[in-house]
Structure formats: C-alpha cells, structure tokens
Structure 1
Amino acid sequence: MSTDFQTARVALGARLRELRSEAGMNGKELAERLDWQRSKISRLENGKQTPSHEDLAAWTKAVGKPDTVAELQGRLQGLETQYRTWRRQLANGHRSRQELAVAETARTQLIRGVEVARIPGLFQTADYARHLFIANAEFRKTPRDTDAAVRARIQRQEALYEAGRSFRFLLWEAALYAQVCPREVMAAQLDRLSGLIGVDTVELGIIPFTASLQRTPAHGFWIYDDRLVTVETINAELWLDDRDNIDLYARAWNWLQESAVYGHQAHRLIARARAALALM
C-alpha cells in the first residue's frame, strides 16, 4: 500500500472520529446505532480499513451530520482514484479493466514499461493472455470472462501499428522463462516477441541476468506519456499522477534502461529461452 494512500486514509478516519465526537457519542454507542461490530468503528477511525460509500452515508446519518456526506465521499473518491483494488476492478470479470486499458492507450503517445515476470499485455499472444486471465480469475475468485478479456487485450495491440505512437519496454530476462502457460504456448509467445523487434513503433530491451544494475527491477510499472504511472500489486493497482511519483518512476526506467540490451543481442536472449523449452 502506498504511503500517500495510507496517509489519506488515516486523515479520513480522523475526520470520521471528529464527527462522532462532535455528536457526543463513543465508539460503542455508534456501533450499536449502526448495528456494526465495535471493531469496524475502530478500524475505520484509525485508517485500518477503507470505508465504502454506503458506510460513509450511514455514518453521517447516525451522527446527525448528513450534510457532510459529500465531503467524505469526495475524500473517498480521491483514495479510489489512486488505489484501485482488484476486488472492485474485477468484480464483473477482466473485460472492463481491459477496455479501460484500451482507452488509456488511445490517449497516449508514448508508453514506457517494465515487466519482470511476464510478457507485457501489449505484446502477448491470445493464447498466452488466455492462460494469464484464467489463472488470475481463479486466484482472485472473480467471474471468468476470458474470451471477452482476450479480445479486448488484442484490440489494444492495434495501437502498436499506428503512426506517431511509441512503445518502449524493458523486460527482465526472467520473464522469458516464467512458465505461466504450456511450453507450446510459450514458444509461440517468444516467437511473437522476437518478431516485434524491428517494428518502428516498438523499442524492446531485455535486461540480462548478468547485467550490472544501478537498481533491481523490483516490480513492473507502466508510464503513460508524462502524466500517469500504473503499478500492480497483489491486491490493488496504483494510479499515480503526481509529479514526484512520475519523476521517480521515470528515473527508475532510465536507470534500468542502461542495463538493457537491444536488437540482435535481445534476439539472442529470446532465442536462448526458446531453445531452453525443448530441453524441459
């Protein structure tokens, strides 16, 4: 969880506590009025749990301050904009998140990305993407809309061939070996990746296992133009649009780029991973 998100959630909790205190109620009394567990009141007030919009509406009504609900829900909206839980994003399956990615890509001229354990979605074959979506739905216990999600992901890839766009990606060599799908699917995926080297809108760098690093590629991230960074964690996706975070991730990308190889050297690393599949 980002520090900025947690700080904002603690501030929201403090505001809830203030409203309760102004109403002359203690936590136990408010919990009884709302028919909630006392522990929920404590978690919300101490920034340990993110309230829902319904929680805020019920809270303001219970403390006699329904006019403050717009203020509180505005604060919550700010949290949700930056910190988007997968539980909410994938509540109806993967398709809607993929369609959001299509729209975000359409309004972007330059995408820079880093991936450490998988092939970037923009470069995935349909079969590779299908295995990832199935596994992710099983892990998160979300609705499975695999075919629709794959179609949306492939639709997004049309941007790779549009003049005036640029896609600059860095791939940790480990992603060439991660067995997230059957060998024949991975082989086709590596062939696809190799074929993208030389496409005029694509710049693909591979960071070798043996590269000297200024910093390690700790996790993947994508930078959209100079306005947005997205970062995936296990439970949420961060959408960071403040200047400090954008500059920080741009610097991380630049440092990692210095360790990457391109062109025929990148081809050689992909070919080596492709050959290794036959030995498994």
Structure 2
Amino acid sequence: MPPTDTDSALAAITSFRTLSTEQTTAHASIQTHLSSSSPHIDIHALFELYSTLYFRSLLHPAVEVSWSPRLTLCAGICELVKDSNGKYNRVRLKLSEPLLKYRPREDVLNTLLHEAIHAYFFLTTSWAHSRGDDGTGHGAGFLLLADAINSHGGYGITVFHTFHDEVDSYRTHIWQCDGPCKDAPPFFGLVKRSMNRAPGKGDHWWKRHEEECGGTYTKISEPELTREQVKKLSAKERAGRQKNKIDVWIVMKEDGERGSKRRHDDSDLTDTATVKQAPVTCPICDKPVEERSINQHLDDEHPP
C-alpha cells in the first residue's frame, strides 16, 4: 500500500521540525530572496529551496515549474505527465502570469507552495493523491501540511487561490441566453469565457440547460482584435468588419451658447455647408478611397 496524503504530510512535517544543515542553508537563502526590495520573484530558485526545506528534497527535479501566459481561470495548476508507456512520471506546475503579475508577492509565494503540496502528494503516494471530500485534493493531509508550513514560515496558504476580480477581467467573450434563465440568478443567462468557445454540448451543464431552459445563446461581447489578428482574417471577414461610414454625414458646428460641438445628419446640411471627406483605407487591398465611395469600391473591386 502506498502512503496516504496524511502519511506523507506527517513525514514532511517531521523533516522540518529540526532542520538539517541543508535545510538551514535553504531557509537562509529563502529569507535572502524575500528580503530583497526587487519585485521580481525567481520562482525556479525558490521552488528548489522549498523542496529542500519543506518537501524532503523530493520535488526537484521531478517537478517542472513555469509561468503560464494562458492560465486565466485559477492562479496555479498541477499537470501530470505520462511517459511512453502511459504511466505518470513527472509533474508540471504552472503559475498564472496574467492573474499573479499584479498581485502582492505573498500571493505568488502562497500559490507556489499550494501547488508544491499537491505535487509532493502526487510523487509520494504513487500518484494516488486523495481528491478529498470536495473532490479538489484538499483533504486532511493537505490541510495538515499547509497549516504546518504556514506556522513555520509565516505563509498564508489557503485551500482556494482564485482571484475573482482578476479572473473575471479575462473573461471577455460573453454570450447571453434568450430563454428563461436570463432572469435567473446568479448568472442571469450569461456565459463568460477567456477563450472564444461558444456554449455547447461540450459543457457538462448543457443537457440540463436544454431541458430546463431551452434558450439560445447569442454572443454579445468580445475583445477587439489585435492588428496581427486582423491581418490573418480572410478578405471577406475583413470587409465585414469595415464600418459603414457614409450612412451619416458629420457636420461639426460651434454652439454659441455652450461652446460645444454637435452631430447633425443629412437634414441639417444646407447648400452652403461643405464636408471635406478624408480618404480611408480599403480593408482588403489597402488602397486609399474617398470615404463616401468606400462601399461602392468594395462592391466593384471586391465582390462577395
């Protein structure tokens, strides 16, 4: 029988109750890192030191640590890696660069240690790390070891390290349901995601939604494309994004009473009013075209 999480937690705690020479050196190096005024944190160096101090030197080099620019739903994650025979042999520990880069340094350290505990349990229990009562891996063993490390080093490791405001700021692809669930809390028919993946059969809640609501999701918001993303669009896709700028002519007139400028449509134009049309760039061929003629240009030169 492999050790349980609790067995592994007790073994780790016993190892740092009385520090060895190597652990004492690691502890001093950690304090040197943390006393620096630099906001930069060398997570690779700290992880190796924490492995020596708190995890019986079992994490390095079996666990790979890195920053992830794409992890936006939680601050950290452990990924198990299989060998060519389909057996687990390594762990990838990833920290969210988007969520943690503007957080206090303590949040980075606590997240690093939180994920290190998970990695330690995977390695020491022959990959049988307990999921716990809530299915998240934060059972009795996790709580025992986290509490001991917090007490020893003055850290603030918690069960959950999701930063809700930061997570929500990256969920810029938004869909709205037109069914009854649009009036029901807590989501009011909204689905927000950091990736452009529409709600569908791949979602575990989709079948229930069809049975209880039956509404249709329509995308209502998405982030602006970068210049590089626009260049990758097809000609038809680029043309479809071109705003129609000649439906309304703009005449800016001084308001004598307020000193402000007002917007007028065709009915405000007089025989003496003149609108100077600046050229715009065709989104397909990049040629300069008079603004009032852009639609005709698209029809003549780039038919659908």
By relative contact order (CA 8 Å, sep 6+), the higher-ranking structure is 1
* TM-score of the pair, normalised by structure 2: 0.28
Higher helix share: 1
Q: State the TM-score, normalizing by the size of structure 1.
A: 0.29
Pair member with larger Rg: 2
